[in-house]
Amino acid sequence: MSAHEQGREPGSVGGGWLGTYAYKGALRAQPPVRFEATFTEPDSDGKFRGTILDDHGLGNHALGEANAAGGQSGRGIRFAKRYHRRGQASVSYEGTLADDGRTMQGTWRIGEMAHGVWDARRLWSEAGSSAATEEVEEREVVRVREVVRLG
């Protein structure tokens, strides 16, 4: 049963995410970069914090871990990513959480230097919704049954 069918909001950005970002414009030849993000539940003002770990960066140089701080209003999300390494520019992200709260996507920008698109899928929810947990567990049981049948 979806969040809308249960009569509640689809969720928040709070939780774990796995995603990619890609360069556009002059840097479009760069390969997409995979990242993992963890965000807190937004507070009553919609503000949240988190951490992001990039697999690699421009030219395969390790960018490492970054802090994130931003806000969520409805399904709209905005946050800034600031790397722990000195000399790395702050990255601004804007995006939208999907109706079901399982994916999000948007655009990113480093001032006038670089820009692109990003997307992410939810790994786990900060809210610990029992309905979402049960649905994930049910899908895993179905997958195991399918593997057993195929085996």
- Predicted TM-score of the model (pTM): 0.76
pLDDT at 149: 45
| CATH label of the domain that carries residue 70 | 2.40.128.120
Q: Is residue 142 a part of any domain in this protein? A: no
Domain of residue 35, residue span: 15-126
Structure tokens at 54: 């990039």
Q: Is residue 66 a part of any domain in this protein? A: yes
pLDDT at 107: 98
Q: Is residue 93 a part of any domain in this protein? A: yes
Q: Residues near 95 by Cβ (< 8 Å), separated by ≥ 6? A: 76, 77, 78, 104, 105, 106, 107, 118
Q: What is the DSSP letter of 100?
A: T
Q: Is residue 81 a part of any domain in this protein? A: yes
Q: Is residue 137 a part of any domain in this protein? A: no
pLDDT at 17: 98
pLDDT at 127: 72
What domain count does the chain have?
1
Burial, 71: exposed, middle or buried (Cβ in 10 Å; 0-12, 13-18, 19+)? Answer: middle
Do β-strands 65-73 and 15-23 pair in parallel, antiparallel, or remain unpaired?
Answer: unpaired
pLDDT at 103: 98
Q: Is residue 133 a part of any domain in this protein? A: no
Residues of the chain with pLDDT under 70: 1-10, 57-62, 128-151
